Amino acid sequence: MRIVKNGDVHVSAPLLLSRKKIEQFIEKHRDWIEKAHLRRIETEQKRKQFYERLPLKKRSERSEAVQRLDTKVRPLLAYHAPKMGVNPSEITYKATTSRWGMCNSRTRQICFSLYLLLLPDWCIEHVVVHELAHLKEANHGPRFYALMDQHFPMWKEARKTTAKMVI
C-alpha cells in the first residue's frame, strides 16, 4: 500500500485475493493512511512556503532574479566547464519547482531554476557541476557519478542539504 503524489491510496494485492480481504487490510491500516495523508499535506505546505520566499509573480521580479542568478552561475560555469572539457551552447533560467536544472545533452543547452537563489552558494555550484556533467554523461550511471566525485566531491552533502531545505 502506498500514497501517491496526488494523495490517492494505491493497494497492490495478489490477483485472487478477495475484495473483502483487501478492504479489511485497508481498514486495518486506516491510522497509517491518515498519518501519511497528514505528512503529505505538511510536506506540500513546507514546499509551498519555501518557494514563496522568492517572489516571481511580476516581470520585474523575474528579471531581477534572472540577473542575480546569472551573476552567480556564470562564474561557476567559467570555472568548471573548461576543467570538465565541456561547453554549453546556451544557458537559460526558468521558475521550475520540479528540477533545479535541466540539460539537453544533444543541443548542449542548460536551464537552471530561478529558485536556486534560495539555496546556499555551494549547493548552486553542485547543480552547475551536475548539469555540466550531463554534457559528458546523459544519464545517472557510474561514469556520471565518477565525474561528480572528481569535480565536486561534496555533491552528496549538497544534495542532502538541498532536499532538507525544500521539504
Q: Say whether pTM exceeds 0.75.
A: yes
* 106 lies in the same domain as 47: no
* 69 lies in the same domain as 99: yes
The CATH number of the domain holding residue 91 is 3.30.2010.10
* 46 lies in the same domain as 99: no
Quick: pLDDT tens for 111-141: 999 999 999 999 999 999 999 999 999 999 9
* 70 lies in the same domain as 44: no
Total domain count, the chain: 2
* 146 lies in the same domain as 125: yes
Task: Annotate the chain with three-state secondary structure.
Answer: CEECCCCCEECCCCCCCCHHHHHHHHHHCHHHHHHHHHHHHHHHHHHHHHHHCCCCCCHHHHHHHHHHHHHHHHHHHHHHHHHHCCCCCEEEEECCCCCCEEEECCCCEEEEEHHHHHCCHHHHHHHHHHHHHHCCCCCCCHHHHHHHHHHCCCHHHHHHHHHHHHC
